[in-house]
């Protein structure tokens, strides 16, 4: 009897797999999916089918309570929210298709609670690592001086790398210690820079190649703006020289600018303005980084801390 039940279950599973595969092939033709997209949907739906089989149902018969139970099981399994969202999207597409084909009257994956994506904390560079990175370029050369000045200005202002490489001479107010930045959506903001960056800017402007036709503060070949990719490659080279791991990106210096300001008592709203964030909630992630650093400090320094 047990053997007969096992054979029946195997047949049911095979039937479910064939049904899912067949319907997905039709859906792929209608929507023009690639084979990779179709296989991704198939994998997610077969995963859901296996879950419902353990509860003596099938994906075709699943109700909203069952879908919620399935999504909860994914969270308990520790899957990333992006993965859960993808599987939920596959279910929604599946039930929409069944409904459109008249194979179901309801849509059990509709109007479910939203899944809020977690925002990963930015990679953090210590102040010591930043100092080592800034000291890496050979400032005896024109290229090294340019790169040192760019790094200093990036860390001093928190500019996006795209803002840095397109910065123009006319945007620099050395007397006031300000730089005028054209950010996302062509929004303009004024960002101050400190004495150290001002000192390197002065040295760079004295040695900057005579390219009167170039409006850029840090001109590349033929006076054009340096590409973001070129700057990233140079930053990577300096990080290797400074023995910094993991290798930072240009955006890591922007993160360091914001986090180090907050660590030293800067106001969150002021940091928001300096970074050019439209919403303060975008800036608030750096307060989480600061708190994470404090937790690490306690764990390493307190007698009852967890020392790694």
Euclidean distance between CA atoms 95 and 23, whole angstroms: 11
Q: Under a CB-based contact definition with an 8 Å cutoff, are residues 228 and 165 in contact?
A: yes
243-279 per-position pLDDT tens digit: 998 888 877 888 888 887 877 777 777 777 777 766 6
Which run of H or E residues covers position 61? Answer: none
Q: Do domains 2-100 and 127-301 have the same CATH topology?
A: no
233-242 per-position pLDDT tens digit: 999 999 999 9
71-107 per-position pLDDT tens digit: 888 888 888 888 888 898 899 888 888 888 888 888 8
Average pLDDT of the chain? 80
Q: Say what the pTM is.
A: 0.55
Per-residue pLDDT, 10: 42
Residue ranges covered by each domain of the chain:
2-100, 127-301
Q: Under a CB-based contact definition with an 8 Å cutoff, are residues 93 and 87 in contact?
A: no
Per-residue pLDDT, 4: 32
Q: Which residues are designated catalytic?
A: 160, 184, 251, 254, 277, 286
Q: Give the CATH fold of the 127-301 domain.
A: hpI Integrase; Chain A (1.10.443)
The number of CA neighbours under 13 Å toward the Cβ of 9 is: 14
**What does each C-alpha distance from 77 to 70, 72, 73 come to in angstroms?**
11, 9, 6
167-206 per-position pLDDT tens digit: 999 999 999 999 898 877 777 888 889 899 999 999 999 9
44-71 per-position pLDDT tens digit: 999 999 998 888 778 888 888 888 888 8
CATH 1.10.10 matches 2-100: no
- Which region holds residue 86: left if phi is over 0, alpha if psi is between -120 and 50, else beta? alpha
Query: Is residue 295 very low, low, confident or very high in pLDDT (cuts 50, 70, 90)?
Result: very low
């Amino acid at each position: 009897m047990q053997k007969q039940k096992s054979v029946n279950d195997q047949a049911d599973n095979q039937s479910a797999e064939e049904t899912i595969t067949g319907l997905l092939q039709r859906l792929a033709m209608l929507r023009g999916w690639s084979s990779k997209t179709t296989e991704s949907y198939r994998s997610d739906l077969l995963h859901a089918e296996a879950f419902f089989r353990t509860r003596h149902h099938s994906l075709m018969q699943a109700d909203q309570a069952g879908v919620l139970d399935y999504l909860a099981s994914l969270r308990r399994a520790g899957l990333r929210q992006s993965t859960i969202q993808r599987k939920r999207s596959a279910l929604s597409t599946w039930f929409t298709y069944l409904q459109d084909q008249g194979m179901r009257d309801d849509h059990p994956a509709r109007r479910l609670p939203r899944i809020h994506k977690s925002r990963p904390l930015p990679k953090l560079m210590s102040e010591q690592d930043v100092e080592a990175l800034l000291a890496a370029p050979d400032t005896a050369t024109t290229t090294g001086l340019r790169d040192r000045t760019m790094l200093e200005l990036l860390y001093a202002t928190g500019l996006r790398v795209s803002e840095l490489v397109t910065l123009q001479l006319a945007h620099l107010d050395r007397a006031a210690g300000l730089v005028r930045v054209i950010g996302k959506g062509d929004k303009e903001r004024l960002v101050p820079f400190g004495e150290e960056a001002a000192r390197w800017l002065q040295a760079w402007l004295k040695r900057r190649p005579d390219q009167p036709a170039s409006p850029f503060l840090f001109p590349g070949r033929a006076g054009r703006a340096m590409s973001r990719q070129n700057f990233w490659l140079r930053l990577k080279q300096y990080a290797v020289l400074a023995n910094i791991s993991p290798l930072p990106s240009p955006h890591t210096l922007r993160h360091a600018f914001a986090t180090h300001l907050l660590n030293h008592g800067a106001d969150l709203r002021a940091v928001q303005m300096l970074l050019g964030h439209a919403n303060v909630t975008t800036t608030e992630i750096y307060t989480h980084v600061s708190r994470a650093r404090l937790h690490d400090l306690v764990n390493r320094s307190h007698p009852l801390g967890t020392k790694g």
